[in-house]
Amino acid sequence: MDFSAALKERRASRRLSQLELALLAGTTQRHLSFIESGRSVPGREMVIRLTESLGLPLRERNQLLLAAGYAPAYPETALHSPDLAPVLAALTHILDAHMPYPAIVIDRYGEIVAANAGLRILADGCAEHLRANGYRLALHPEGMAPRIANFAEWGWHVLNAMTAELNRNPDRRLAALHAELSQYVPAARVAPGHLGFAVPLQLRTPHGELRLMTTITSFATAVDVTISELKLEAFLPADQATAAALSQEAGPG
């Protein structure tokens, strides 16, 4: 797809009119119309402004720059490059500080980049081949699924978040993973006492049934593609009994 068609598609998917996008990007509707029709060739700075105004992920901004005939603007550093060592060190500090509660860092496909020791209570009894991917660990029948008391509800909570990401930023590999995981999750029924704004994970463990809520942190100000696609998922106790059980699990030995 050429740049003009790609730009028009991205604008339409975000339900923005030409006038709205033009105002956000600091140009005129007429100029934007000419760009989308291929009658005008935008400069590199204009391409960057348009992709920023659309709120595209950094990877997709680079792709549109290439489609327009320009070099990518945002670096994509290998995760274990020395250049990212300070970032990984900071993430490790955050993960360790979250103990005794579990926390993981995943990439855009759910691959686990880092985790604290609290992950062991989630991964207990899970097949080894699933432990590298947070999504499969949570939803695969050989993962956490048999121990999740509200599996249908929790599973669709995870899948719906993936759907929202796909709606914002279509991706074939993520779509294939979503399709795979959808096979494992039965139809959900809203249980009595459903919180509405959050779905607690009800996990059976040797310490009893834990009730956990999650928070997702992304690196919105990142200017590196790799960092921008990382997410930190932190689990928090939804009641005092869960807090006590996790503290006990993290104790000596």
Q: What is the pLDDT of residues 105-117, one digit of tens each?
A: 999 999 999 999 9
Q: Confirm if 182 and 159 have CB atoms less than 8 A apart.
A: yes
Residue 129 scores a pLDDT above 50: yes
Helix count (H) and strand count (E) of the chain? 12, 5
pLDDT at 253: 44
Residue 252 scores a pLDDT above 70: no
Q: Confirm if 112 and 105 have CB atoms less than 8 A apart.
A: yes
Quick one: CA dihedral 171, 174, 180, 186, positive or negative?
A: negative
Q: What is the mean pLDDT of residues 156-166?
A: 91
Domains of the chain by residue range: 3-67, 82-249
Q: Confirm if 233 and 104 have CB atoms less than 8 A apart.
A: yes
CATH no. of 82-249: 3.30.450.180
Q: Which amino acid is at 148?
A: I
DSSP label at 111?
B
Tell me the chain's radius of gyration from C-alpha atoms.
Answer: 21
Residue 164 scores a pLDDT above 60: yes
Q: Decide if domain 3-67 falls under CATH 1.10.260.40.
A: yes
